[in-house]
Amino acid sequence: MNGLSSPASIDYALTFITERCCFKPFGLDFSFYLLGYVTTMRAWIQILLVVFIIFSSFSRADSTGLTLQPRIQVNAPQVKFQDDTQRWLNAHKVVRVGVWGPSHPPIGEGMVRGIYQGIAADYLAILQDSLQITFELHYYQNSTEARSALARHDIQMLAMWNPERWPSHTTRASLPWLLDNPVLLKRKQEENTSASLSHFSLGAMSDDILAVPLKKAYPGSILRSFPELDQAINAVAYSQINALWINRTSASYLLHSRQIAGLEMVPDTTLTNLNLSFGIDSSESQLLDAINTALQQIPLASRLRIGSGWGLDRGAIMMQNPLGMTVEEEQWLKGKKRIEVLLHSQRPPISFVSPNGAPEGLMIDVLNRLTREYGLNFSLLSYQNGSERDALINTHPDALVLNDWVQGEVSPADFFTPVLSSAMVVIMQRDVPLPENFYQLKGERMAIVGDNPLISTLETWYPTLRLSKSENLYQALDLLKNRSVRGVVAPQFVAQYMLSLAPYSGLRIAATVPTASTELGFKAQAQGEIPLQIVDKALRGLTPDQLISLSIPWRQAEPEGIDRFSNKNLLSFLILAILFITTLVASIFWIKSLRRALQTGEQAQKDLSDQLNFTQTLIDNAPVALYARDLEGKLLRFNQGWAETVKRDGAMYTGKTLEQIDNVNRDALQRLESQYQHALETGESQQWSGPFTVDGQMHYLSGWTVPWRDRNGKICGLIGGWLDITEQQAMIERIRQTKAALRQANASKAAFMQSMGHEVRTPLNAIIGLLEMEIQQQQSAGNSSENLPLIWESACNLLSLIGDVFDVFRADDQQLQGMVRSVNLPQLIHSTVALYRLQADEKNLHIEVDTALKTDHFDTDSLLIIRVFSSLLRNAIKHSTGKTITVALFQGRSEPGETRVPLVLEVSNEGELLDPSQPDAEITAPVWSETGIPLSVCQQLATQHGGEIALESDENGTVVSFYFQAPPSSLTAAPISTPATEGINILIVDDYPPGRRALQQQLESWGHAVFIAEDGAQGLNNWRNQHPTFDLIITDCTMPVMDGFAMTEAIRAEELRNEQPPVPIFGLTALTSFEATARCLSVGMSECLVKPLSPQALHTILQRHFPHLSLTQPENEQAPLHSSLKEEMVKLHQQDAESLKMNLVQENRDEVSRLAHRISGSASLLRDTPFIDKCKQLENACDTGMCWETINDYAQQLFACMSQINAELLAEIAVDNHSSAS
Mean per-residue pLDDT, 226-241: 85
Picking from 37, 56, 75, the residue at the C-terminal end of a domain is 56
Cα dist from 476 to 387, 424, 495, whole Å: 19, 15, 12
Look at residue 790 in the predicted model and tell me its pLDDT.
67
Cα dist from 1043 to 704, 842, 1068, 1158, whole Å: 56, 56, 11, 12
Mean per-residue pLDDT, 982-989: 86
Phi, psi of 1008 (to 5 degrees): -100, 150
In the chain the first and final C-alpha atoms are separated, in Å, by: 151
Look at residue 974 in the predicted model and tell me its pLDDT.
45
How many whole angstroms separate alpha carbon 55 and alpha carbon 58?
6
Q: Are residues 68 and 206 in the same domain?
A: no
Q: Are residues 135 and 197 in the same domain?
A: no
Higher pLDDT, 852 or 1033: 1033
How many whole angstroms separate alpha carbon 664 and alpha carbon 671?
12
pLDDT tens per residue across span 737-764: 888 888 777 767 766 766 566 566 656 6
CA angle 1072, 1076, 1080 (to 5 degrees): 125
Q: Are residues 402 and 529 in the same domain?
A: yes
Contact 492, 424 (CB under 8 A): yes
Amino acid at 745: A
Going by the DSSP 8-state scheme, the letter that residue 274 receives in this structure is -
Picking from 683, 709, 724, the residue at the C-terminal end of a domain is 724
Picking from 724, 751, 778, the residue at the C-terminal end of a domain is 724
CA angle 560, 564, 567 (to 5 degrees): 175
In a domain, 152, yes or no: yes
Bridge partners, 509 (sequence order): 427
Contact 22, 29 (CB under 8 A): yes
Look at residue 979 in the predicted model and tell me its pLDDT.
41
Phi, psi of 97 (to 5 degrees): -120, 135
Q: Are residues 610 and 592 in the same domain?
A: yes
Q: Are residues 72 and 145 in the same domain?
A: yes
Look at residue 1112 in the predicted model and tell me its pLDDT.
52
In a domain, 811, yes or no: no
Q: Is the pLDDT of residue 123 over 90?
A: yes
CATH code of the domain containing 1153 = 1.20.120.160
Amino acid at 322: P
In a domain, 789, yes or no: no
Dihedral angle sign, alpha carbons of residues 375, 376, 379, 383:
negative
Contact 811, 866 (CB under 8 A): yes
Contact 831, 849 (CB under 8 A): no
Phi, psi of 696 (to 5 degrees): 75, 0
In a domain, 951, yes or no: no
Out of 556-565, 1060-1069, 1201-1210, give the one with best mean pLDDT: 1060-1069
Look at residue 20 in the predicted model and tell me its pLDDT.
40
Look at residue 782 in the predicted model and tell me its pLDDT.
67
Look at residue 925 in the predicted model and tell me its pLDDT.
44
Q: Tell me which residue of 1118, 1191, 1127 sits closest to 1155, measured CA to CA.
A: 1191
**Helical H runs in 1067-1147?**
1074-1082, 1095-1105, 1123-1146
Q: Is the pLDDT of residue 700 over 60?
A: yes
Q: Are strands 1009-1013 and 957-966 parallel, antiparallel or unpaired?
A: unpaired
Query: What's the 3-state SS for 336-383?
Result: HCCEEEEEECEECCCEEECCCCCEECHHHHHHHHHHHHHCCCEEEEEE
Q: Is 1144 helix (H, G, I), strand (E, B) or coil?
A: helix
CATH code of the domain containing 1000 = 3.40.50.2300
Contact 248, 182 (CB under 8 A): yes
Number of compact structural domains in the chain: 9
Contact 10, 46 (CB under 8 A): yes
Q: Are residues 340 and 377 in the same domain?
A: yes
Amino acid at 28: L
How many whole angstroms separate alpha carbon 9 and alpha carbon 1152?
105
Contact 363, 403 (CB under 8 A): yes
Mean per-residue pLDDT, 37-59: 46
In a domain, 1015, yes or no: yes
Q: Are residues 218 and 338 in the same domain?
A: no
How many whole angstroms separate alpha carbon 160 and alpha carbon 249?
14
In a domain, 261, yes or no: yes
Q: Is 399 helix (H, G, I), strand (E, B) or coil?
A: coil
Picking from 160-174, 402-416, 722-736, 1120-1134, which range would have the lowest pLDDT averaged per residue?
Answer: 402-416
In a domain, 255, yes or no: yes
Q: Which pLDDT band, with edges at 50, 70 and 90, does 927 fall under? A: very low
CATH code of the domain containing 355 = 3.40.190.10
**By residue range, what is the domain housing residue 646?**
621-724
Contact 294, 131 (CB under 8 A): yes
Q: Are residues 381 and 332 in the same domain?
A: yes
Phi, psi of 642 (to 5 degrees): -65, -45
Contact 960, 919 (CB under 8 A): no
Q: Are residues 412 and 442 in the same domain?
A: no
Q: Is the pLDDT of residue 135 over 90?
A: yes
Q: Which pLDDT band, with edges at 50, 70 and 90, does 928 fall under? A: very low
Look at residue 37 in the predicted model and tell me its pLDDT.
42
Q: Which pLDDT band, with edges at 50, 70 and 90, does 161 fall under? A: very high
Average pLDDT, the chain: 79
DSSP H or E run through 66: strand 64-68
> Quick one: what percent of the chain has pLDDT higher than 70?
79
Q: Is the pLDDT of residue 707 over 80?
A: yes
Mean per-residue pLDDT, 1192-1196: 88
Contact 650, 638 (CB under 8 A): yes
Mean per-residue pLDDT, 1188-1213: 85
Q: Is the pLDDT of residue 179 over 60?
A: yes
Picking from 22-36, 465-479, 1153-1167, which range would have the lowest pLDDT averaged per residue?
Answer: 22-36
Contact 306, 127 (CB under 8 A): no
Amino acid at 647: K
Q: Are residues 305 and 399 in the same domain?
A: no
839-845 contact pairs (CB < 8 A, 24+) = 839/874, 839/877, 840/877, 840/885, 843/877, 843/880, 844/883, 845/877, 845/880, 845/882, 845/883, 845/884, 845/885
Q: Are residues 393 and 527 in the same domain?
A: yes
Picking from 791-795, 939-943, 1075-1079, which range would have the lowest pLDDT averaged per residue?
Answer: 791-795
Count CA atoms closer than 13 A to 873's CA, side-chain side. 27
Higher pLDDT, 255 or 959: 959
In a domain, 1009, yes or no: yes
Q: Which pLDDT band, with edges at 50, 70 and 90, does 663 fall under? A: confident
Residues of the chain by 3-state class (helix, strand, coil), percent to 5: 50, 20, 30
Q: Which pLDDT band, with edges at 50, 70 and 90, does 410 fall under? A: low
Q: Are residues 996 and 1095 in the same domain?
A: yes
Going by the DSSP 8-state scheme, the letter that residue 272 receives in this structure is S
Q: Is the pLDDT of residue 980 over 50?
A: no
